[in-house]
Copies of this chain bind each other. A is one copy, B any other.
Amino acid sequence: MFNKETEYALKGLVYIQVQNYKELRPGIAEIAQEVGAPPFYTAKILQRMVRLGFLESLKGKGGGFYFDKTQPQVALKDLVSAIEGTKSFSGCGFGLKQCDENNPCPLHEQYAPIREAIYKLLNEESVQSLASKLFARNENKFNWLG
């Protein structure tokens, strides 16, 4: 569904949020470990998340990553858009530039509802909503690495 960068970013942010709910601020090594992503790559991606304003960080001893509670939730749509653009939830299944009800590609009828479902999912769910589910399950053992 997503490319590697988006996947690691999403997993990382969700993990950070779950830890934040426990009043913890994980660092790169821990996050990379939990998420099953290469540590250097994880660092690069999380730094980008901070620059994009999705996440906060604190350098030095006791530092790590955390979410600013006064900021709005991070919708998956915004996260995905920022990393890999909007093509996963918009645009024609057949790859046509112009494809709509009036001028449909041969996949339009079947694909349009799928695209809408994807959009709905990405628009309604957020890093926080996913983290809450895991936190509610009280899941300390994530199956990221599965």
Please judge, given known A-B contacts A11-B94, A97-B146, A143-B105, whether A121 and B110 are in contact too, CB under 8 Å: yes
Interface residues of A in 81-135 (CB under 8 A from B): 91, 93-99, 103, 105-107, 110-111, 113-114, 117-118, 121, 125, 129-131, 133-134
Task: Determine if A10 is an interface residue (Cβ-Cβ < 8 Å).
Answer: yes
A117 to B14, CA, bound (A): 27
Bound form: Cα–Cα A54–B54 in Å: 46
**What is the chain B residue whose CB lies nearest that of A91?**
B1
A106 contacts B94, CB within 8 Å?
no
- Given A1-B111, A114-B114, does the pair A146, B106 have CB atoms closer than 8 Å? no
Whether B143 pairs with A130 at a CB distance below 8 angstroms is no
Chain A, interface size category, equals 35 or more
- Cβ-based interface call for A2 (8 A): yes
With A and B bound together, what is the CA distance between A121 and B115 in angstroms?
A: 12
Given A103-B143, A106-B130, A134-B106, A7 and B95 touching (CB < 8 A)?
Answer: yes
| CB-based nearest B residue for A133 | B106
Closest chain B residue, CB of each to CB of A120: B110
Q: Interface centre among A98, A103, A105, A125, by most B CB within 10 Å?
A: A105
B106 adjacent to A14 (CB under 8 Å): yes
Question: 14 additional contacts, CB 8 Å, given A2-B93, A99-B143, A110-B125?
Answer: A7-B94, A7-B95, A14-B106, A96-B146, A97-B145, A97-B146, A99-B146, A105-B143, A106-B129, A106-B130, A106-B133, A106-B134, A110-B121, A113-B117
